[in-house]
Chain A
């Protein structure tokens, strides 16, 4: 079974962060030609492209560190769902536009804090990527913030649907801040997710308050994405993402 492969901690860490970016890029790409307005098609595709760029660097790096000859394409297209290390937040379906924006807000606010800390990582590749990516993510976070404010503090209907969007994504938020073995073995290199939570909260909660939305109090929370435990949705996403590459083995651009 390919899932049994044990990666060096640094490779596992780069892979986990890369998978988060890759899977959300794929989800956001689904909005192309379906967003509520043309500008939003362009915006979501641009955000997806930034995330894809980050994923390519992280997956390539994971492959290099692993040293088994796997490149970014091998890692993106030739792993099954149990080998993906992304949090479940990024794999759940887009839902309506409000769900998508609620997820983008919580995720980009997390990535902002993550990349801010990783900018001073002892690992030069991670630090270099983070310094670059934090600028991109600032735009993503700002974009999501503007929409959540506009929709939350908009009409009765837009408020209701945005609150529903938040309620839907919130059970997946806690998983972003779980510390795991990989991270604790990479002191000075990785950002401990638990330490990112206060700054994340300091950003997100005032946005919700200003948007007249209430932070949900979910009765359950997701777990296990970093260990390869996923919702049924990831398999369907991968089938679409990987189908072309697997149908034509070895075909490069």
Chain B
């Protein structure tokens, strides 16, 4: 049995897990990203956390797991079990409003609404330049410096920028 004095309450543990910064975009917390899906204290006293990866091959997934483990230990958990859950798949719609503003301040355009359905007409939302706010931007590449970002450029201020892909 774990020492009850060492076992922090559920809300404290959840807050500790959510406050862990994302290793690749440290301006965001895991709570902002929406990747912490569940946290519970199991019968044997261990803290179980469900984490969903943003992309199946995202190299940050392993770092996230060990960072959460460390944060929960600091918050008083004796034993931590991390479970990777794929379903329901992570979507950028789970990103918090606070996270979206932080991204913009950091120079990354936040994701628009994830596409629903697949009609014959490809409807693209305009992405605003996080530097100057202009909607006159264009995509250079679907793929950027991390799996979750695309590379864009602004026609108004001529600066390139990363945009969070809506998925």
Given contact pairs A49-B147, A124-B87, A131-B88, A43 touches B58 in the complex (Cβ within 8 A): no
A53/B151 in contact, CB under 8 A: no
- Bound Cα distance from A57 to B89, whole angstroms: 14
B167 to chain A, nearest CB (A): 5
Say yes or no for B23: interface residue by CB 8 A criterion: no
Partner of B87, one of A42, A47, A52, A131: A131
Say yes or no for A85: interface residue by CB 8 A criterion: no
Say yes or no for A34: interface residue by CB 8 A criterion: no
Q: Is the interface of B mostly helix, strand, loop or mixed?
A: loop
Q: For window 3-57 of chain B, which residues contact chain A by CB distance below 8 Å?
A: 53, 55-57
Given contact pairs A46-B147, A135-B167, A142-B142, A54 touches B57 in the complex (Cβ within 8 A): yes
Q: Chain A CB within 10 Å — which of B56, B85, B90, B140 has the most?
A: B56
A39/B151 in contact, CB under 8 A: yes
**Size of chain B's interface in residues, with CB distance under 8 A?**
22
Q: Which residues of B contact A136 (CB under 8 A)?
A: 55-56, 147, 167
Given contact pairs A128-B86, A135-B167, A42 touches B57 in the complex (Cβ within 8 A): no
Q: Which residues of A contact B55 (CB under 8 A)?
A: 49-50, 53, 136
Q: Which residues of B contact A238 (CB under 8 A)?
A: none
- Bound Cα distance from A46 to B141, whole angstroms: 11
A51/B57 in contact, CB under 8 A: yes
B87/A128 in contact, CB under 8 A: yes
Given contact pairs A39-B140, A43-B143, A49 touches B86 in the complex (Cβ within 8 A): no
B88/A57 in contact, CB under 8 A: no
Say yes or no for A27: interface residue by CB 8 A criterion: no
Q: Scoring A residues 58 to 94 as 1 if CB is less than 8 Å from chain B, else 0, what string do you get?
A: 0000000000000000000000000000000000000
Say yes or no for B59: interface residue by CB 8 A criterion: yes
Say yes or no for A246: interface residue by CB 8 A criterion: no
Q: For window 230-244 of chain A, which residues contact chain B by CB distance below 8 Å?
A: none
B56/A46 in contact, CB under 8 A: no
Q: Which residues of B contact A139 (CB under 8 A)?
A: 142-143, 165
Q: Which residues of A contact B88 (CB under 8 A)?
A: 131
Given contact pairs A46-B147, A133-B56, A57 touches B142 in the complex (Cβ within 8 A): no
Q: Scoring B residues 80 to 102 as 1 if CB is less than 8 Å from chain A, else 0, what string do you get?
A: 00000111111000000000000
A50/B56 in contact, CB under 8 A: yes
Q: For window 18-59 of chain A, which residues contact chain B by CB distance below 8 Å?
A: 39-40, 42-43, 46-47, 49-54, 56-57
Q: Which residues of B contact A135 (CB under 8 A)?
A: 89, 167
A61 to chain B, nearest CB (A): 11
Q: Scoring A residues 114 to 128 as 1 if CB is less than 8 Å from chain B, else 0, what string do you get?
A: 000000000011011
Say yes or no for A129: interface residue by CB 8 A criterion: yes
Q: Which residue of A lies closest to B167 (CB)?
A: A135
Say yes or no for A143: interface residue by CB 8 A criterion: yes
Say yes or no for A214: interface residue by CB 8 A criterion: no
B56/A43 in contact, CB under 8 A: no
- Bound Cα distance from A135 to B88, whole angstroms: 12
B147/A57 in contact, CB under 8 A: no
B156 to chain A, nearest CB (A): 21
Say yes or no for B144: interface residue by CB 8 A criterion: yes
- Bound Cα distance from A51 to B57, whole angstroms: 7
B147/A43 in contact, CB under 8 A: no
A33 to chain B, nearest CB (A): 15
- Bound Cα distance from A186 to B116, whole angstroms: 30
Q: For window 86-122 of chain B, which residues contact chain A by CB distance below 8 Å?
A: 86-90
A131/B142 in contact, CB under 8 A: no
- Identify the B interface with A (CB < 8 A): 53, 55-59, 85-90, 140-145, 147, 151, 165, 167
Q: What are 12 A-B contacts defined by CB distance under 8 Å?
A: A39-B141, A39-B143, A40-B141, A42-B145, A46-B143, A53-B56, A56-B57, A128-B89, A131-B89, A132-B87, A135-B89, A143-B142
Closest 3 CB pairs of A and B: A53-B57, A53-B56, A128-B87
